[in-house]
Amino acid sequence: MRAIVDRDRCQGHNRCYAEAPTLFDLDDELKSVVLVDIVPTDQEDAARRAERNCPERAITLVDGDG
């Protein structure tokens, strides 16, 4: 699974980081960035929580490498 952040939609609420601090952080523009290329299996639930809790719906989870 991969996590993708739409930087145009991200408003820097930081809820993704609150749900999955090993997967997300904020950059200098206060926009979310994904810290890993592939979400580790044991972090998939946290990634799903981050996706669900993003008020701007800026996070998309994609199965596999795509």
Give the confidence band of 66 by pLDDT, cuts at 50, 70, 90: low
pLDDT digits (tens, 9 = 90+) for 3-43: 999 999 999 999 999 999 999 999 999 999 999 999 999 99
Rounded to two decimals, what is the model's pTM?
Answer: 0.90
Domain 2-62: give its CATH code.
3.30.70.20
Which residue from 1, 50, 2 is spatially nearest to 24, judged by alpha carbons? 50
Cβ-based burial of 31 (10 A; exposed 0-12, middle 13-18, buried ≥19)? middle
Q: Where are the domains of the chain?
A: 2-62
Give the confidence band of 64 by pLDDT, cuts at 50, 70, 90: confident
Q: Residue 30 corresponds to which amino acid?
A: L
Identify whether the C-beta of residue 55 lies closer than 8 Å to the C-beta of residue 13: yes
